[in-house]
Amino acid sequence: MPVEIIKERYNAPVNTVEIGRPGAKQVKIGGQTGFPFLFDEGKMPNPPVIAYEVPDCTPDDWPEGLLEPYHDCVKDPVKWAKKCADEFGAEILCVKAQSMHQDYGSRPVDEAVRIVREIADAVKLPLIVVGCGDDERDNEFMPKLSQALKGENCLLGLATQANYKTLAATCLVDGHFIIADSPIDVNIAKQVNILIGDMGFDTNKIVMHPTTTSLGYGMEYVYSIMERSRLAAFMGDKMLAMPFIVFVGQETWKVKEAKDFGVVQGINWEITTSVAMLQAGADLIVMRHPDAAGSVKRYIAALTGGVR
């Protein structure tokens, strides 16, 4: 019996973002014209990418099983970054500049900038850099960092509704991409994108962070917000057509169920959250455990292999 196939076709693709120094290694995300991995209906010219998280100082809050693969570099962020690049085959790194935070010893901003610069020189990979979460420190750090990384075309974040101006202005001047953050809310996501655009920042250079939540702890909220947001983008809402980044590693390894039942369950927590986020439309996933990251990369390859 011949079946009438109904294809959902959309005219408005997700923006394409290419992070990294032109001529050097770059990472391209976005550009899809439909929901993920439905290759008969839409195009997905750039498969989603996994970024490896590199803390810029010893991450005391990481459980033992997660730290184990990094045991020889926990005190040396540059070595850590090199390990991700050389041993784990990272295509892009996400440096978390947490050392400036008082919880991690309030490292002077200039020193934090220097460390990221050293990482950039050592690995020659595209970089994502996020601040420590303390607005005051981040607003001091980001302009200096942005300048120090000028030409590297990094992805810097997070710009929030309450604190986006400093970061947007500095990314604009130095040619970086920006992460626009919103609290599981399509309207605020759109609003932050508009606010950043109003500063003269090219909205094609924005990557959205819809908030990340772990498997079992509100993952479904983000899942549905991403689907809703994407539907709007495909229908032509330019202010929601940005690729998505999610920080799966940092959220999953906070969860007791991921930490306290052996490292395999933790790895699987990270894999499962990532898979759900990919099925909801994530373009860039920041992960922690190299085994989890490796498995998710193989999963993406299995989904896209032979189809592209």
Partner 1 sequence: MALSGLDIYKLLPKTNCKECGFATCLAFAMALAQKKVSLDKCPHVTAQARQALESAAQPPIKLVTIGTAEASFEVGNETVMYRHEQKFHHPTALGILIEDTLSEDELSAAVAAVNGLRFERVGQKVGADLICVRNSSGYRNKFLAAVSTADALSRMAIALYSDDAESMAEAVKLCRERRPLIICGEKSSPDAFIALAKEYDLPIALTCENLDEAADLTARANAQGVSQIALNFKNESMSGRIQEYTYARRAALKKNFRPLGYPIIAFTESADPDLELAEAVSYMAKYAGIVIMKNSAREFVYPFLVARQDIYQDPQKPVQVEPKIYEIGRVTADSPVLVTTNFSITYFTVAGEVESSKVPSYVICVDAEGMSVLTAWAAEKFTAEKITDVLKRCGIEEMVSHRTITLPGYVAVLSGKLEEISGWKVSVGPREASGITGYLRNWKA
Q: Interface residues with partner 1 (CB under 8 A)?
A: 1-6, 8, 37-41, 61, 103, 133, 213, 215-221, 223-224, 227-228, 231, 254, 257, 261-262, 264-265, 267-269, 271-272, 275-276, 279, 291-292, 295-296, 298-299, 302-307
CA distances to 133, 199, 220 from 186, rounded to whole Å, are 22, 21, 14
Q: Of 294, 259, 291, 296, nearest to 277 (Cα)?
A: 296
Shortest reach from residue 22's CB to partner 1, in Å: 31
Nearer to partner 1, 177 or 234 (CB): 234
Shortest reach from residue 271's CB to partner 1, in Å: 6
Shortest reach from residue 45's CB to partner 1, in Å: 15
Nearer to partner 1, 76 or 257 (CB): 257
Q: Of 285, 296, 207, nearest to 249 (Cα)?
A: 285
Nearer to partner 1, 88 or 217 (CB): 217
Phi and psi of 207, rounded to 5°? Answer: -115, 135
Both structure tokens of 63:
């459980």
Shortest reach from residue 259's CB to partner 1, in Å: 11
The angle formed by the CA atoms of residues 157, 182 and 190, to the nearest 5 degrees, is 105
Nearer to partner 1, 4 or 64 (CB): 4
Q: What Rg value do the Cα atoms of the chain yield, rounded?
A: 19
Shortest reach from residue 254's CB to partner 1, in Å: 6
Both structure tokens of 143:
């302009």
